[in-house]
Amino acid sequence: MVDGAISKLKAEMEANKDDSYIQYIGQFLLQRIEANPDDAAKLASKDKTIAKSLEAMRGEAKKKQKNGMAMLTPDQGFAIVLKYFGITGAAAPVPAPVSVAPPAATVKNPISDFDVKLDDFL
């Protein structure tokens, strides 16, 4: 069953190479199968597709929209996708992008190097 689900997801991803949303959700679902092989049967369902899960996500976002705009967090979006496929349980957390600050430049304080005593001048 795992192989069938993986093949189905990869086929849809291959058919929609130019759709970054299908690629992103497809990768999430492939990782879900890897971590939870028992979910494969639900993901292999012939009438359930990644594209239709995105439609379910759009429908939920429309319910939350204000002034024509709606946003979902990645966790909310993944939860909707899993619910669409009939999978219960929390979605795996999505790692946040990491921003790396450049190393702080060490600036030598010229005043700290200045050490003069009155006896030096006498």
Q: Is 48 a domain residue?
A: yes
Please give the Cα distance from 50 to 70 (Å, whole number). 20
Number of domains in the chain: 1
Residue 46, pLDDT score? 92
Evaluate whether residue 45 is within a structural domain. yes
In this prediction, residues 59-84 reach a mean pLDDT of 93
Q: How far apart are CA 13 and CA 5, in angstroms?
A: 12
The percent of residues above 90 in pLDDT, for the chain, comes to: 66
* Statement: residue 71 has pLDDT above 80: yes
Q: Which pLDDT score, from 0 to 100, does residue 20 have?
A: 93
Question: Residue 77: which domain range?
Answer: 2-84
pLDDT at 94 over 60: no
Mean pLDDT in the chain? 84
